[in-house]
Amino acid sequence: MEHIDPAVISRFDTRSSRPCEFCRELDPEFHGRRPLDQMVATTRKAIASAHLTEDGYVRHRMLELRRITSRAPLTAA
């Protein structure tokens, strides 16, 4: 393991991670994701950039964008 960058090791260290609450609530396919794609760093909020994998990040962002676009448009007063 000494040939792997320590920053990379800590990024994939699941001992310091937890499932993303945002994705768990909004993604009906959350439990079908790979385990690492479900996880976020414990030291950060449940935001896209806290995900341990790129796929987890992308899925989180897709959920955020879907949530934004599903809101009723604001009307001009």
Residue 55 has pLDDT above 90, yes or no: yes
Q: What is the dihedral of CA 9, 14, 17, 18, to 10 degrees?
A: 160
Domain ranges of the chain: 6-70
Q: What is the pLDDT of residues 13-54, one digit of tens each?
A: 667 789 999 999 999 999 999 999 999 988 888 899 999 999
The pTM assigned to this predicted structure is 0.73
What tokens appear for 70 in the block?
């599903």
CB contact set of 42 (below 8 Å; sequence gap of 6+)? 16, 17, 18
